[in-house]
Amino acid sequence: MPMPSGRISSTALLFFALALGQAGNATAETVFSKSFSYFPIGGRTAEDLDKGLSAQGPLMKSTGARHPGATKIKFGGTVTYVSRGGKCAVGSAKVTLNTKIILPRWTNRKRAGRDLALVWDTLSSDIKRHEERHAEIARTHARKLESSFLTLRPEADCERMQASVARVSETAISDHDRDQARFDRTEAVNFDRRMIRLLQYRLDAIRKK
């Protein structure tokens, strides 16, 4: 069966609202949302499942291939500016993060034999864990991005301030994408060993019942 390989669709959409007002303490707010969607696969054998995942899984533009699961990530938000000491400073930052996790659902699961059901349950659980981890990585970077905005030093004018915000945003998204790619590489190397360990763990749990 194919290795869980959650590829990321990252979009940086930071909308900068210029709001010159009285200086005060900079404020931050991170807004997260997460949703799930499922694609069905049929079949009654391991080969059928393999083919179903390859044929029905989400298509990633970055690779031109389908994958057994995916996490779509979208960053957004607003940054406002205030006048502080004759300079332009960040007044507030709100980073939004939307993650959509796409997972497989085997329509014949209830009619499956014990051995194949065990393999499927182990694999599908690992796919979900993998994609959830992608969402967690994105949340960590969203919080870091927000903190980075608040620590920016005031600039002589808001045009320069906005340029600084844009640079921080671009750097943050690049760091995020690198971390996601690093996670995928690590998971790929350990996939076979991890699956054997998980299958053995489930078998042991069944025998103890």
Q: Which long-range contacts (CB under 8 A, 24 or more apart) does 106-109 make?
A: 106/40, 106/41, 106/42, 106/43, 106/49, 106/52, 107/40, 107/41, 107/42, 108/42, 108/43, 108/44
Could you give the CA distance from residue 100 to residue 72 in angstroms, rounded to a whole number? 5
Q: Give me the pLDDT at residue 50, please.
A: 87
Query: Which of 41-55, 80-94, 180-194 has the lowest average pLDDT?
Result: 180-194
User: How do the domains of the chain map onto residue ranges?
Assistant: 7-207
pLDDT tens string 117-171: 888 988 899 999 999 999 999 999 999 999 999 999 999 998 899 999 999 999 9
The whole-model pTM stands at 0.84
Confidence category of residue 8, pLDDT binned at 50, 70, 90:
very low
Contact between residue 132 and residue 209 where contact means Cβ atoms under 8 Å apart: no
Contact between residue 15 and residue 165 where contact means Cβ atoms under 8 Å apart: no
DSSP reduced 3-state for 78: strand
Q: How far apart are CA 71 and CA 62, in angstroms?
A: 13
Q: What is the pLDDT of residue 194?
A: 76
Residue 45 DSSP class: S
